[in-house]
Amino acid sequence: MIKGIVIIGAGTMGNGIAHTFAQSNFKVDLIDVSQVSLDKAMKTISNNLERMVTKEKISELEKINTLNNITTSTSIKNTSKNTDLVIEAATENLDLKLKIFKELDDYYTENTLLASNTSSISITQIASATNRPHKVIGMHFMNPVPLMKLVEVIKGYETNLATLNLITEIAKLINKEPVEVNDYPGFIANRILLPMINEAIESLHHGVSSVKNIDDIMKLGMGHPMGPLQLADFIGLDVCLSILNVMYKGFKSPKYVASPLLVNMVQAGKLGIKSKEGFYDYSNNKKAEVVSKQFQ
């Protein structure tokens, strides 16, 4: 069974994936070209574990063991070539992912499984950068990774059954619920979610209702834990735009055309929580309590 895991990318998703595997007693190498990003990731993981200790969900010893299970580095060359599984969680950019997967394919032995946490990009296309497409698969985790149960397991055109079965078992070992999906733009989660978010942004853009009212309607009427505009801020408006663009390019359907308001906000650097402003203002805290001045 797989013991060693390499995670590529120490951002929000990467550090969450590293945290989750390490807490399940896997040895994890967390890799990022930026030492600053690695330091920030470890601080985030430590803080998240401390909150779990405070809430008595884990013990202090479990926190220490989880942190000790993670090693950081700025190069894959500091990891074993015989690593069992590598999970890429870099920025949602096709050219970058193709470059990374070529490097992974060149460095790791032919037995290493290569997975991508991509939220919308074709696994088949990513696999084409390697000489092992049968060992390439999608593992789309949900944010925040330590808390969310779902992992979309995406089969590329050449992903074989052995790879699919092993990744499914690994997901269960870290207390996730793997759900199999075929390789089409946006898969299932984002193919359904992003048009809803985009429609909420369009409704705001056309003055149908306010930020708070749109979110309240979906929370109170549809039972959603957070409204679509708050969720867009949480995901990152740049990520939302990127996913919509991937789906529009893949399907050529107007229902995936991003709202002009979303495009303008991304161009203006209003990306949500990560930039401290999106549909809500996060200057003082990360809760969606104050609507951005632009929409008041």
pLDDT tens track for 79-123 = 999 999 999 999 999 999 999 999 999 999 999 999 999 999 999
Among 19, 69, 122, 152, the one annotated catalytic: 152
**How many whole angstroms separate alpha carbon 19 and alpha carbon 134?**
27
Question: Tokens at residue 29, please?
Answer: 């190498």
The verdict on pTM exceeding 0.85 is yes
Strand partners for 220: none
Sign of CA dihedral 118, 124, 128, 132: positive
Whole-angstrom Cα Rg for the chain = 19
197 φ/ψ angles, rounded to the nearest 5 degrees: -60, -45
> If 0-12 CB within 10 Å is exposed, 13-18 middle and 19+ buried, where does residue 283 land?
exposed
Among 122, 140, 203, 277, the one annotated catalytic: 140
DSSP string, 221-258: HH--SS-HHHHHHHH-HHHHHHHHHHHHHHH--GGGPP
Among 119, 122, 203, 242, the one annotated catalytic: 119
pLDDT tens track for 156-188 = 999 999 999 999 999 999 999 999 999 999 999
Provide the pLDDT for residue 286. Answer: 86
The yes-or-no verdict on residue 16 having pLDDT over 90 is yes
For residue 277, what is the DSSP state? B
Provide the pLDDT for residue 74. Answer: 98
- Size (the chain), residues: 296
Judge whether 210 counts as a catalytic residue: no
Provide the pLDDT for residue 1. Answer: 67
The yes-or-no verdict on residue 25 having pLDDT over 90 is yes
Question: Tokens at residue 262, please?
Answer: 């979303």
Question: Tokens at residue 184, please?
Answer: 């089409």
The yes-or-no verdict on residue 268 having pLDDT over 90 is yes
233 φ/ψ angles, rounded to the nearest 5 degrees: -60, -40
Judge whether 242 counts as a catalytic residue: no
Question: Tokens at residue 177, please?
Answer: 């619920």
pLDDT tens track for 137-149 = 999 999 999 999 9
The confidence band for 3, taking pLDDT boundaries of 50, 70 and 90, is confident
Provide the pLDDT for residue 178. Answer: 98
The yes-or-no verdict on residue 277 having pLDDT over 90 is yes
Average pLDDT estimate for 13-31: 97
- For Cα atoms 98, 101, 104, give the angle at the middle one, nearest 5 degrees: 155
**How many whole angstroms separate alpha carbon 102 and alpha carbon 131?**
9
Decide: 4 and 83 in contact? Cβ < 8 Å.
yes
Among 15, 116, 120, 190, the one annotated catalytic: 190
Judge whether 131 counts as a catalytic residue: no
Question: Tokens at residue 246, please?
Answer: 């991937």
Provide the pLDDT for residue 270. Answer: 98
What is the number of helices (H) and of strands (E) in the chain? 11, 10
Contacts (Cβ under 8 Å, ≥6 apart) of 157: 124, 127, 133, 183
Provide the pLDDT for residue 151. Answer: 98
CATH topology of domain 4-182: Rossmann fold (3.40.50)
Provide the pLDDT for residue 4. Answer: 86
Provide the pLDDT for residue 2. Answer: 76
pLDDT tens track for 186-245 = 999 999 999 999 999 999 999 999 999 999 999 999 999 999 999 999 999 999 999 999
Question: Tokens at residue 136, please?
Answer: 């390439």
pLDDT tens track for 36-66 = 999 999 999 999 999 999 999 999 999 999 9
Q: Calculate the CA dihedral of residues 52, 56, 62, 64 and round it to 10 degrees.
A: 60
**How many whole angstroms separate alpha carbon 194 and alpha carbon 33?**
30
Judge whether 15 counts as a catalytic residue: no
Q: According to CATH, where is 3.40.50.720 located in the chain?
A: 4-182
CATH topology of domain 191-291: N-(1-d-carboxylethyl)-l-norvaline Dehydrogenase; domain 2 (1.10.1040)
